[in-house]
Amino acid sequence: MKSKPNPRSSAPSAGTNNPVILITGASQGIGAAIAKTFAREVKGCRLALVARNERNLKAVASGCEKFGATAEVFGCDVADEQSVTEMAKAVLARFKRVDVLINNAGAFAMASFAETSVAEFDRMLAVNLRSAFLVTRAFLSGMLKRKSGDIYFMSSIAGLDAYPNATGYAAAKFGVTGMAKVLRQETKAHGVRVCCVHPGATWSPSWDGSGVKPERMMPAEDVAQAILDVHRLSRRSVVEEIVLRPQLGDL
- The verdict on whether 152 is a catalytic residue reads no
Of 210, 208, 190, 107, residue with least CA distance to 149: 190
Decide: 98 and 143 in contact? Cβ < 8 Å: yes
Of 9, 7, 10, residue with least CA distance to 22: 7
Determine the Cα–Cα distance for residues 29 and 220; give it in Å rounded to an integer.
6
Q: In the chain, what's the furthest Cα-to-Cα distance?
A: 54
SS3 229: helix
Which of these is catalytic: 152, 169, 174, 203?
Answer: 169
SS3 60: helix
Inter-axis angle of helices 29-41 and 220-231, to 10 degrees? 50
The full DSSP string for 98-120 is -SEEEE-------B-TTT--HHH
Catalytic amino acids?
A: 169
